[in-house]
């Protein structure tokens, strides 16, 4: 029979031989691991590594996290206050301007004529008033004529002033110093007073005032934003807004910013908005300092520090254990290196640090377990299986055996102290 089996083996295909060998190795390796896992005694040498950390005084912060949009504090739009045809455009988007700098001009032919006519009317009204005063005979009728002509002089003077202002308005100037972000006028555009413009001779739509704090889709002119004063518009949930106060420090970060930018809470809104049934309150943050990375519309993450305490005794949170009865303990090292379980009382948590309010003193050494995922004999045994092994568990394994206990690929990356789980 042995010769028959040997003949069958020799006549079998190479792939079949390889498959048989792989399965045999897999079964043997799995059974060896099972025997080792069931029989290996606990060993102190296999306990997870630890390190010691001294209790130290730190600064703890309590923060509220939110997000917002960066906006320049100065954001002005300038459009012509007079009607006319654009004759020159003196700046372009991206230019830096000073307050009062000329941006564009319109033709003044009609404006000059209007001013001359208004000045002529004013001169005529003054001449008639002067003549009436010269002919005053002291009667009530004469005085009434003088009063009427004096009123006409005032009306004519106001008209002349308006005509002069209109002529001055033929040159559009920057309302504030800053960066020109929009320049929508071209030579030949026709503008109407206080509005945008149309190309050629078409009528322009009705517009807003000459200067507004925000741009509109119908305004055609220039937008100037300040580059040295910024704010962040954010919202905070109802549960967090009560923690905040004007003046709280703020840390601002973004993928678009090279470094953290700082600010303070400038305003907290009293009226909430509702998104999906959740109340949110507007919070305005004034950015302190300047940065070349600041640009209109950048989305930023905001950390508002509503509480900061210094000289707080802390230990790593990983050093603290809470029992079933709620007792909180740490493992403290005595002067001779003996480990002593010590009851402590804890306070606030910040990051990976926890405040200790009693039970320890500054400098006390506590033990912190170091968890190194992926280590242990189980992982090493699993890594010894044939590559690509996908078969089920061999016969003889317990029904409740959990392969994840083995760690490594397909497992949970680690074994319990002493090579056992459970």
Under the banding of pLDDT at 50, 70 and 90, the label for residue 2 is low
Cα distance between residue 20 and residue 8, in whole Å: 13
Distance set, CA 184 to CA 180, 206, 219, 274, 397 (Å): 11, 16, 9, 36, 79
pLDDT on residue 75? 85
pLDDT of 225 above 50: yes
Distance between CA atoms of residues 161 and 121, nearest Å: 12
Residue 74 CB-density burial (10 A; 0-12 exposed, 13-18 middle, 19+ buried): middle
Residue 227: which pLDDT band, with cuts at 50, 70 and 90?
confident
Rounded to whole angstroms, the Cα distance separating 131 from 339 reads 114
**382 versus 173: which is more confidently predicted?**
173
| Lowest-pLDDT range of 92-101, 144-153, 201-210, 283-292 | 201-210
Per-residue model confidence (pLDDT) at position 31:
63
Specify the range with the lowest mean pLDDT, choosing from 5-19, 216-230, 249-263, 360-374. 5-19
What per-residue confidence (pLDDT) applies to 226?
A: 84
318 by Cβ neighbours in 10 Å (0-12 / 13-18 / 19+) ranks as middle
- The gap between the terminal CA atoms of the chain, to the nearest Å, is 47
CA gap 188, 85 in Å, rounded: 6
Flag whether pLDDT at 262 surpasses 80.
yes
Could you read off the pLDDT of 94-138 as tens digits, one per residue? Answer: 899 998 999 999 999 988 999 999 999 999 999 999 999 998 888
**pLDDT higher than threshold 70 for residue 58:** yes
- Those residues whose C-beta lies under 8 Å from the C-beta of residue 218, and which sit 6 or more positions away, are 195, 196, 205, 206, 207, 208
The counts of H helices and E strands in the chain are: 6, 24
Share of the chain above pLDDT 70, in %: 70
* Residues contacting residue 23 through CB under 8 Å, at least 6 positions apart: 391
272-310 pLDDT, tens per residue? 887 667 888 999 999 987 777 788 888 999 999 988 888
**Are the C-beta atoms of residues 262 and 229 closer than 8 Å to each other?**
no
Residues 176-201, buried b or exposed e (16+ Cβ, 10 A)?
A: bbbbbbbbbbeeebbbbebbbbeeee
Show the tokens assigned to 352: 């990976």
332/341 Cα distance (integer angstroms): 6
Give residue-wise pLDDT tens across range 359-410.
Answer: 999 999 999 987 655 444 443 333 344 444 444 554 554 555 555 444 444 4
Identify the pLDDT of residue 14.
62
Q: How far apart are CA 70 and CA 138, in angstroms?
A: 72
Q: Examine the pLDDT at 419 and tell me if it is beyond 60.
A: no
| pLDDT reading at 198 higher than 70 | no
pLDDT at 129: 92
Torsion, Cα of 336, 340, 343, 344 (10° steps): 40
Q: What is the mean pLDDT of residues 9-30?
A: 61
């Amino acid at each position: 029979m042995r010769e028959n089996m040997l003949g069958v083996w020799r006549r079998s295909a190479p792939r079949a031989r390889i498959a048989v060998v792989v399965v045999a190795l897999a079964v043997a390796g799995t059974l060896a691991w099972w025997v080792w896992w069931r029989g290996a005694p606990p060993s102190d040498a296999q306990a997870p590594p630890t390190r010691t950390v001294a209790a130290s005084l730190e600064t703890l912060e309590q923060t509220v996290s939110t997000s917002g949009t960066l906006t320049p504090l100065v954001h002005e739009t300038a459009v012509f206050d007079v009607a006319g045809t654009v004759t020159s455009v003196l700046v372009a988007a991206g230019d830096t301007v000073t307050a009062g700098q000329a941006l564009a001009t319109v033709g003044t032919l009609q404006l000059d004529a209007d001013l001359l006519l208004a000045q002529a009317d004013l001169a005529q009204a003054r001449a008639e008033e002067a003549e009436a005063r010269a002919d005053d005979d002291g009667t009530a009728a004469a005085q009434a004529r003088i009063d009427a002509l004096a009123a006409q002089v005032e009306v004519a003077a106001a008209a002349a002033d308006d005509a002069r202002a209109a002529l001055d308005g033929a040159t559009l100037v920057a309302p504030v110093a800053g960066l020109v972000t929009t320049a929508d006028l071209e030579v030949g555009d026709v503008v109407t007073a206080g509005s945008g413009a149309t190309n050629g001779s078409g009528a322009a739509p009705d517009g807003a005032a000459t200067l507004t704090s925000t741009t509109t889709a119908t305004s055609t002119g220039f937008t100037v934003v300040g580059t040295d004063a910024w704010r962040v518009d954010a919202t905070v949930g109802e549960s967090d807004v009560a923690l905040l106060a004007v003046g709280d420090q703020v840390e601002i970060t973004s993928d678009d910013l090279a470094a953290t930018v700082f600010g303070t809470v400038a305003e907290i809104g009293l009226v909430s908005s509702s998104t999906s049934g959740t109340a949110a309150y507007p919070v305005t943050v004034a950015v302190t300092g300047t940065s070349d990375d600041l640009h209109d519309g950048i989305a930023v993450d905001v950390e508002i520090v509503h509480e900061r305490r210094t000289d707080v005794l802390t230990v790593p949170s990983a050093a603290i254990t809470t029992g079933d009865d709620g007792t909180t303990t740490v493992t403290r090292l005595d002067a001779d290196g003996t480990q002593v379980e010590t009851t402590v009382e804890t306070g606030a948590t910040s990051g990976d640090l926890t405040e200790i309010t009693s039970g320890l003193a500054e400098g006390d050494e506590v033990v912190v377990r170091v968890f190194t995922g992926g280590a242990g004999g189980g992982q090493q045994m699993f890594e010894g299986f044939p590559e690509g092994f996908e078969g089920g568990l061999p016969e003889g394994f317990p029904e409740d055996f959990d392969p994840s206990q083995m760690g490594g690929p397909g497992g949970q990356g680690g074994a319990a102290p002493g090579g056992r789980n459970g």
